[in-house]
Amino acid sequence: MRVLSLNVGKIGTLNHAGEIVPSAIGKQPIEDRVGLGLLGFTGDQQADRKNHGGSDKAVCVYASEHYHHFGERLGKPLGIPAFGENLTTVGMLEAQVCIGDVYGVGSATLQVSQPRQPCFKLGARHGEPRLHEWVRDSRLTGFYFRVLQAGEVQVGDAFELLSRGKISVARANELRYGEFDREGIQALVNEDALSASWQRSLRGRLLHAE
């Protein structure tokens, strides 16, 4: 498990259905060692601070293994970081990574907090408005880290698993988007490491099902 690409970006613009919207999805790879604080990498920005960034979503992660699948669906090769991720990884798939997993990477310590929720900006970037739905429905969403200990990270750094969670990112996605499973959703809500926003959304799903 390692960092294939480390990516940061400033706020720019996207054309979404004829409307110009701010976005920092257009990130660029950085070869140097980069500082990582509790709110993210030095030099990285988020245009929509309600849905992106913050302590629970400090680092966005996406697996390089998924690039071929979506490149085929889009009919074009995808260059890293096509999904606006901070870390493009090798060996960290949704079925293997769990909510609450703690990893050391570089001199930082990170914890998996929630799956990524793909939004319309993915489609706006690649000219395919259905792309965020494809990512969501495939459950190949990526995930977020919170930063437990600030440090520095560089391309090629290995992830060291320090402690293990119980519910995989893939399972969390299924509980959020799949058939209603009260027992499973309640177990996920009870995971202390799950982000506050996902806990609220899942509690809402439980409430509305009553």
pTM over 0.75: yes
- Residue 72 neighbours by CB under 8 Å, 6+ apart: none
- pLDDT value of residue 128: 93
- Residue 87 neighbours by CB under 8 Å, 6+ apart: 3, 5, 6, 7, 59, 60, 61, 62, 145, 153
Task: Retrieve residue 101's tokens.
Answer: 């997993």
Q: What is the C-alpha to C-alpha distance for residues 180 and 66, in angstroms, rounded to an integer?
A: 27
Type of residue numbered 175: L
In the chain, what percentage of residues exceed pLDDT 90?
88
- What is the distance in angstroms between the CA of the first residue and the CA of the last residue of the chain? 42
* Domain residue limits, the chain: 2-165
Selected from 2.30.110.10, 3.40.50.1820, 2.40.33.20, 3.30.2130.30, the CATH number assigned to the domain covering 2-165 reads 2.40.33.20
Across 26-54, average pLDDT = 89
